[in-house]
A and B are shown apart, each in its own frame.
Chain A
Amino acid sequence: MMAENPYLPFSSEILDVIKHTGKEYTFRMHFTGDVKPGQFFEVSVPKFGEAPISVSGIGEDFVDLTIRRVGRVTNEVFEHYKGQSLLMRGPYGNGFDVDLYREGETVVVAGGTGVSPVRGVINALSQMPNASDKYVIVGFRSPDDLLFRDDLARWDGLLNLIQTVDSGPEGYTGRVGLVTKFIADLPLKDPAAAKAVVVGPPPMMKFTIIELQKKGFKDENITVSYERKMCCGLGKCGHCRVNDTYICLDGPVFNYTEGRLLMD
C-alpha cells in the first residue's frame, strides 16, 4: 500500500437520511475532522463512481450532504439507507469564512441546491447577536422543490428571510418570483458597506450580482461559490479549471473581484 494516498476513500456510516423532495435527500454522514461550509467531499459508491457533493451541514460527529438524484452515482447513493455506509474522501476546497459576515449587514442569495453550501453560513448568521441585520433570499423552482423546510421555518424567526418560488400552482399564497426581484427592495442602511453571498445556477448568479451592484454593493463585498465538475478534488484532473484557476484548489468560494475574472 502507498504511504499516503489521497484518492483512497474512507467508509462513513449514514447516520440519518432527511427527505426534502422526491429526488433531494440529505445524507447525514459520520465525520469528525475539520470542515467548513462550502467545502465538498467526493462521495462514492464503489463500482459506480464518485461525485463531488458540497457540505450542507456540520455537526460534532457528522457532515450533511444534500444530494440530488440526477445521475449514475447519485442514483446509487439513493439506494443506501440509514445504518449503511458510503465511501468518501475530502473535504476539498476553501469553503466560506463565516467570520467575514459578523459585522454589519449581510445578504445571502441562494437558489435551489445552491442553498446547501451556504446553509452553514445562514445557520451562523442566524445565531449572531445582530441577526436583524442579516438578510437571506432563497429561491426554489416550485413549492414542491423546497429544501430544508425545518431550517426555513427556524431561520424565519431569527433573521430576515425572504423565501420565494419561481412559479407556484394556482391559489399559492407564498411569494412568487425570481430571487433577483427582491434585492432592490431590501431595507439596507448602507449597501456600499454590506456584504453579500451568492450561490446558485450560473444565470441566477449573474443576474443576482447585477442587481446587487445596482443596489450599491461593491464587488469586493460579494462572495460567490462556483459549481464545476470536480473529478479529483486535488488539482490534477483538470475538469474544474477556469483560466489559470482550479476551482477545487483555489475555490469553490471566491471573492467576486477574483470570481468576476473567471471566464469559462
Chain B
Amino acid sequence: MGYLLNAEGFDSTIRELSKKYRLYAPVLKKGEGRFLDTDVVRYDFVTEASQIELDAKSDYAFKEFLTPLSETLFYFTENQVREADLDPKPVIIFLRSCDIHAAKRMDQMYLANGSAKDPFYQRRRDLVHFALIGCDHSYPNCFCASMGSNVTQDGYLFSIERAGEGYQSDVKDDGLQELFAANAVSQKDVVPAHVSENDVKVTVPETIPLAEIIKNSLWDEYDSRCIACGRCNFACPTCTCFTMQDIYYTDNGKVGERRRVGASCMVDGYSTVAGGGQYRRKHGERMRFKALHKIYDFRKRFGYDMCVGCGRCDDICPEYISFSNIINKVNTAAGQILSAEKEAE
C-alpha cells in the first residue's frame, strides 16, 4: 500500500518508529567534511525525520552498522574470555537501491563464503530491516544502471522519497500499514522512484583473459597516481575486509579486548606475512587486485558482480581516480586481447 505524507506526518511516523526501532540513516554533518568548511553525509542514528538526508548520496555507506570500522568481539579479563554484548533493539537502515544490492554482497561474504557463518555479522544482520530511499535522479559518478542495481522491488519495510511539498511511501510491511495510514494525508499507489540511466556508463566484460589483463600496462599509471590511502575501500558498500586486533588497557594490562577493524587491500600491510614478506607492493597491482575482485573474481566465485555502481569510490578519491573508467579500460583491453587471440587462431 502507498501513502502520501506531509512533513508533519512523516515526522510523527519517524518518531513512532523510533520507539520500536533504532533508525540508521544518512545524516548531513555540517562542517565535518575532510576539508575546511566542507560537509559530509554519513550514517548515524536518528530520532527525527528532519535529521534524515534524503536529497544527497551518502559519502560513506550504510555498512558501518553491519561491520563497524572497529567492533569489539571479545573482552579478556585475566583468564576469562567474554563475547561483547550487542544492543538487541531492531534497526531500520535507510538506504538507496544500490545499497540494498550491496547488502546482498555483504551477506554473501559473511554468511556464505566457507562453511562457517560469521556470528558477529549474523547477530547484527538479524536486527536489520531496510527502508528504501527512492532516487528520482542520478547523482554524480553513479553507474547503478550499468551494474543492474538501480531497481529494488522488495526486501524493504517501506520506501520514502520526496513528492512535491511532502513525501510518499510504498509500505510493504503489513505491521506498519496502520502507522502510515494514521499519519498519511491520503493513500496512493506508490512505485519508488529509480533511475534507469546514468551519465556514467560502464561495460563489464563478460570474459576476462585473466593472465593477460593482470600483466596489462593499464594498471601502471596507478603506481604513481594512487596514494594507497584506502578511502575507496572504506566508502565502498561492498568492501568487507577486516583485520583482527587485540588491545590491552594501559592502566591494567590484565584486561583487554579483541576487535576487528576495517581493512583495505590498498593500504600497506594488508598482505604482509610473518617476517615482512608482502604481495602486491605496487599501488597499480593493488588497484588491479581490487578492481578485478569487484568485476570478475567475485562473479567467478558467486555468480554475480560485486560492484553495485554507487560511485562512492570515485566521489571520495583524493587523486580523482575513476573506478568506472577503470572498468571501461579493462573492457577495452579485454576486447583487444580476445580479438587478437581470435585473429591468431
Which residues of A are in contact with B by a Cβ distance under 8 Å? 1-2, 4-9, 11, 44-51, 68, 70-71, 74, 87, 201-202, 227-229, 231-232, 234-239, 241, 243-244, 246, 248-249, 261, 263-264
| Contact across chains for A49 and B246 when beta carbons are under 8 A apart | yes
Q: Which of B81, B110, B211 contacts A236 (CB 8 A)?
A: B110
> What does the 1/0 interface line of B283-309 toward A look like (CB < 8 Å)?
001000100110011101100000000
| Contact across chains for B118 and A236 when beta carbons are under 8 A apart | yes
In chain B, residues 261-301, which have Cβ atoms closer than 8 Å to a Cβ of chain A? 263, 265, 270-277, 279-280, 285, 289, 292-293, 296-298, 300-301
Question: Which residues on B sit within 8 Å (CB–CB) of A46?
Answer: 74, 76, 81, 246, 256, 258
| Contact across chains for B256 and A47 when beta carbons are under 8 A apart | yes
Which residues of B are in contact with A by a Cβ distance under 8 Å? 73-74, 76, 79, 81, 83, 109-110, 113-114, 116, 118-121, 123, 210-211, 214, 240-248, 253, 255-258, 260, 263, 265, 270-277, 279-280, 285, 289, 292-293, 296-298, 300-301
A241-B293 contact in complex given A70-B275, A236-B109, C-beta closer than 8 Å: yes
A255 to chain B minimum Cβ distance, whole angstroms, is 18
B303 to chain A minimum Cβ distance, whole angstroms, is 11
What separation, in Å, do the CA atoms of A47 and B256 have in the docked complex? Answer: 5
| Contact across chains for B116 and A234 when beta carbons are under 8 A apart | yes
A76 to chain B minimum Cβ distance, whole angstroms, is 10
Q: Which of B114, B260, B263 contacts A235 (CB 8 A)?
A: B114
Selected A-B contacts with CB under 8 Å, 22 pairs:
A2-B123, A5-B83, A6-B119, A7-B73, A8-B81, A46-B76, A50-B244, A68-B275, A227-B277, A229-B271, A232-B242, A235-B116, A236-B118, A236-B121, A237-B242, A237-B244, A237-B263, A238-B241, A244-B296, A246-B114, A249-B114, A264-B279
What separation, in Å, do the CA atoms of A229 and B270 have in the docked complex? Answer: 8
Q: What residue of chain B has the Cβ atom nearest to residue A67's Cβ?
A: B274
What separation, in Å, do the CA atoms of A239 and B241 have in the docked complex? Answer: 7
Q: What residue of chain B has the Cβ atom nearest to residue A53's Cβ?
A: B274
Q: What residue of chain B has the Cβ atom nearest to residue A240's Cβ?
A: B271
| Contact across chains for A47 and B243 when beta carbons are under 8 A apart | no
Main secondary structure of the interface of B (DSSP, over half): mixed
Main secondary structure of the interface of A (DSSP, over half): loop
What separation, in Å, do the CA atoms of A2 and B86 have in the docked complex? Answer: 11
A204 to chain B minimum Cβ distance, whole angstroms, is 12
Which A-B residue pairs are the 3 nearest by beta carbons? A235-B114, A47-B256, A238-B241
Question: Which residues on B sit within 8 Å (CB–CB) of A5?
Answer: 83, 119
What separation, in Å, do the CA atoms of A22 and B257 have in the docked complex? Answer: 31
| Contact across chains for A47 and B253 when beta carbons are under 8 A apart | yes
What separation, in Å, do the CA atoms of A52 and B219 have in the docked complex? Answer: 31
| Contact across chains for A243 and B297 when beta carbons are under 8 A apart | yes
| Contact across chains for B242 and A231 when beta carbons are under 8 A apart | yes
| Contact across chains for B118 and A244 when beta carbons are under 8 A apart | no
Q: Which of A1, A201, A202, A236 contacts B113 (CB 8 A)?
A: A236
What separation, in Å, do the CA atoms of A106 and B246 have in the docked complex? Answer: 43
Q: What residue of chain B has the Cβ atom nearest to residue A243's Cβ?
A: B297
Q: What residue of chain A has the Cβ atom nearest to residue B110's Cβ?
A: A236
Q: What residue of chain A has the Cβ atom nearest to residue B79's Cβ?
A: A11
Q: What residue of chain A has the Cβ atom nearest to residue B242's Cβ?
A: A237
| Contact across chains for A7 and B113 when beta carbons are under 8 A apart | no
B297 to chain A minimum Cβ distance, whole angstroms, is 4
| Contact across chains for B246 and A244 when beta carbons are under 8 A apart | no
Question: Which residues on B sit within 8 Å (CB–CB) of A48?
Answer: 246, 248
B292 to chain A minimum Cβ distance, whole angstroms, is 8
| Contact across chains for A238 and B83 when beta carbons are under 8 A apart | no
| Contact across chains for B263 and A239 when beta carbons are under 8 A apart | yes
A7-B242 contact in complex given A229-B272, A234-B114, A237-B263, C-beta closer than 8 Å: no
Question: Which residues on B sit within 8 Å (CB–CB) of A45?
Answer: 246
What separation, in Å, do the CA atoms of A231 and B258 have in the docked complex? Answer: 12
Question: Which residues on B sit within 8 Å (CB–CB) of A244?
Answer: 296-298, 300-301
| Contact across chains for B277 and A246 when beta carbons are under 8 A apart | no
A142 to chain B minimum Cβ distance, whole angstroms, is 16
Question: Which residues on A sit within 8 Å (CB–CB) of B289?
Answer: 264
Given A229-B271, A239-B241, A263-B211, 15 more A-B residue pairs with CB atoms under 8 Å apart are: A7-B74, A7-B119, A46-B76, A46-B246, A47-B248, A47-B255, A48-B246, A70-B275, A231-B244, A234-B116, A236-B118, A239-B271, A244-B300, A244-B301, A264-B279
Question: Which residues on A sit within 8 Å (CB–CB) of B301?
Answer: 244
Question: Which residues on B sit within 8 Å (CB–CB) of A74?
Answer: 274
| Contact across chains for B274 and A71 when beta carbons are under 8 A apart | yes
Most central of A51, A87, A231 by chain B CB within 10 Å: A231
Most central of B244, B270, B301 by chain A CB within 10 Å: B244
What separation, in Å, do the CA atoms of A8 and B84 have in the docked complex? Answer: 11
Q: Which of A68, A232, A246 contacts B274 (CB 8 A)?
A: A68
What separation, in Å, do the CA atoms of A239 and B274 have in the docked complex? Answer: 13
| Contact across chains for A201 and B263 when beta carbons are under 8 A apart | no
Question: Which residues on A sit within 8 Å (CB–CB) of B240?
Answer: 236, 238
| Contact across chains for A239 and B210 when beta carbons are under 8 A apart | no
A246-B113 contact in complex given A8-B83, A47-B253, C-beta closer than 8 Å: yes
